[in-house]
Amino acid sequence: MLVHRTTRPRPKDPDPSVFARVPPSFAVPRAAPAQLTVTWVGHASLLIQLGGMNILADPMWSDRASPVSFAGPKRWVPPGVAFEQLPPLDIILQSHNHYDHLDDTTVRRLARTHSNATWVLPLDLGSFVRKRGVRGEVIELDWWEERTLGPLRVAATPAMHFSSRGIGDRGDSLWCGFALREPGGGRRVYFAGDTGFHPEFGAIGERYGPFDVALLPIGAYEPRWFMRYLHMNPEEAVEAFRAVNARIMVPIHWGTFKLTDEAMDEPPARARAAWLAAGLPSDGYRQLAHGETLTM
């Protein structure tokens, strides 16, 4: 029997209370140069401490991922790190311009309170943050381009996605992930941003790996016929992990905003099952609660 997609039952979402939120334990004001920490704020927002620097990825502190405050996907779990708790920021990474990753209000707050931070963005996105008050250094990178910032080397990596914030601007700016590396064989972090599964993960691992930790999106993947070109499903995320040559996987892009059809608690369950089915070490999959800090 054929069932039209609009009449197919959708999985039931859990109560938001099932998503744990724990106090962060990152170092203040900075971690020791030899220490690596990753704190999941929620969705794709992370605080990374590497090489003695504080790095914020895809900052999003608003209640809705939307151009308006009264409609659009609403946050299920408060940010795991209060905005006022953020340590002095050195680098802010921005993967692309979708509302669940690039937030107007958050950018303006960061411009006021962390004016010394360097913003690293994909091509043609710098004007967005400058118009919202950022006065520090703004760096735009194409895929495979790199820049040295303090003790770190930052590279923009390919992603399969798109950009748009309205009607008629699709593809006007680039989208990307980021590879962060300390010199001389030091610690390495891969932040995939927002992406479908693509053939360049192996090349990213060869060029910038091996990574100590890969921060990979696992949510917003149904219906598959449409979302496969934009977002990995959990099984593809585990496959991407294996391709990029990393030691630990931290799943991101789940449990914060209801964006697609799958149940909110489905992505991590499927990711863990795929991890075990692949025969990977059990301690290599590190699913963080909102606010939780992984210290390495």
Query: Per-residue pLDDT tens for 181-209?
Result: 998 889 999 999 999 999 999 999 999 99
Question: Quick one: pLDDT at residue 5?
Answer: 45
Question: Quick one: pLDDT at residue 11?
Answer: 84
Predicted TM-score (pTM) of this structure:
0.95
Rounded to whole angstroms, how far apart are CA atoms 123 and 106?
20
In this prediction, residues 241-253 reach a mean pLDDT of 98
Buried b / exposed e over 137-155, threshold 16 CB at 10 Å, is ebebbebbeeeebeebbbb
Question: Quick one: pLDDT at residue 20?
Answer: 85
pLDDT, tens only, 20-35: 889 999 999 999 999 9
If one compares 122 and 170, the residue with the highest pLDDT of the two is: 122
- % of the chain exceeding 70 in pLDDT: 97
- For all residues of the chain together, what is the average pLDDT? 94
pLDDT, tens only, 58-103: 999 999 999 998 989 999 999 999 999 999 999 999 999 999 999 9
Question: Quick one: pLDDT at residue 189?
Answer: 98
Amino acid making up residue 217: P
- Kindly report the number of other CB atoms within 10 A of residue 29's CB atom: 8
Q: Outline where DSSP puts E strands in 144-232.
A: 146-149, 152-157, 177-181, 188-191, 211-217
What is the signed CA dihedral for 57, 61, 65, 69, rounded to 10 degrees?
-150
The DSSP output letter for 45 is: E
Question: Quick one: pLDDT at residue 52?
Answer: 97
Rounded to whole angstroms, how far apart are CA atoms 96 and 169?
13
Question: Quick one: pLDDT at residue 2?
Answer: 37
Least confident of 5-19, 58-72, 157-171: 5-19
Q: Tokens standing for 68? A: 């308006």
pLDDT range class, residue 8, cuts 50, 70, 90: low
Question: Quick one: pLDDT at residue 1?
Answer: 31
Question: Quick one: pLDDT at residue 239?
Answer: 98
Question: Quick one: pLDDT at residue 166?
Answer: 82
Question: Quick one: pLDDT at residue 69?
Answer: 86
Q: Tokens standing for 124? A: 């043609």
Nearest to 44 by CA among 84, 108, 99, 88: 99
Question: Quick one: pLDDT at residue 4?
Answer: 39
272 CB-contact burial (10 Å; exposed 0-12 / middle 13-18 / buried 19+): middle
Question: Quick one: pLDDT at residue 22?
Answer: 95
Give the orientation angle of helix 234-244 with respect to helix 266-277, to 10 degrees. 50
* Helix, strand, or coil (residue 38): strand
- Kindly report the number of other CB atoms within 10 A of residue 79's CB atom: 23
Nearest to 180 by CA among 66, 3, 96, 56: 56
In this prediction, residues 243-265 reach a mean pLDDT of 97
Query: Is the model's pLDDT at 163 over the cut of 50?
Result: yes
Which domains are present in the chain?
Answer: 20-295 (3.60.15.10)
Question: Quick one: pLDDT at residue 9?
Answer: 65
Q: Outline where DSSP puts E strands in 129-222.
A: 138-141, 146-149, 152-157, 177-181, 188-191, 211-217
Contact by Cβ (8 Å): 188, 205: no
